[in-house]
């Protein structure tokens, strides 16, 4: 079942995200960061364990980021990643966000979900707000993509 995250999900989210971070597929997240941002997260809960997660983090008045997207190996290939992203897009639209972006090492997934490549220069709030503190800042290998919610484009 896809739902908003609860405080009790934080440790499972942390384990899932950092499993992929150890493989170099995504950036690590501290447990403190997950608790601080728990309201941003959606999870897939199978009743026993969290099988997937994603966060919609608001960056500015018209901009939000899809981040920390992870689906447990046992749940891959069932469309959960797309459903998690769709939940973020739906919430962003309800909040009046005009553009949602993602920084990823797996751009093909986001392209299939309707995201289009965008220059990081068009995301100054992200670059100077968070990226500048990242250990990859000077040699970032993540691809930036965006989904335009304004005027019904790419609408959900």
Name the residue among 54, 49, 60, 48 with its Cα closest to residue 34: 54
pTM over 0.85: yes
Task: Count how many domains the chain has.
Answer: 1
- Give the CATH number of the domain where residue 125 resides: 3.40.630.30
For residue 111, give its domain range. Answer: 2-152
Q: What are the pLDDT tens digits along the chain (156 aa)?
A: 999 999 999 999 999 999 999 998 888 899 999 999 999 999 999 988 999 999 999 988 899 999 999 999 999 999 999 999 999 999 999 999 999 999 998 899 999 999 999 987 777 555 445 545 555 555 666 789 999 998 555 544
């Amino acid at each position: 079942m896809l739902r908003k995250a609860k405080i009790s999900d934080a440790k499972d989210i942390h384990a899932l995200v950092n499993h992929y971070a150890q493989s170099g597929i995504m950036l690590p997240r501290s447990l403190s960061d997950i608790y601080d941002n728990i309201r941003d997260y959606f999870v897939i809960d199978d009743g026993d364990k969290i099988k997937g997660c994603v966060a919609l983090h608001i960056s500015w008045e018209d901009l939000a980021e899809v981040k920390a997207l992870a689906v447990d190996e046992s749940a891959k290939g069932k469309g959960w990643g797309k459903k998690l992203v769709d939940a973020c897009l739906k919430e962003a639209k309800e909040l009046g966000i005009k553009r949602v972006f993602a920084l990823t090492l797996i751009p093909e997934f986001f392209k299939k979900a309707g995201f289009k490549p965008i220059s990081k220069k068009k995301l100054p709030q992200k670059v100077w707000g968070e990226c500048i503190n990242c250990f990859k800042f000077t040699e970032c290998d993540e691809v930036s993509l965006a989904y335009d919610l304004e005027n019904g484009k790419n609408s959900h």
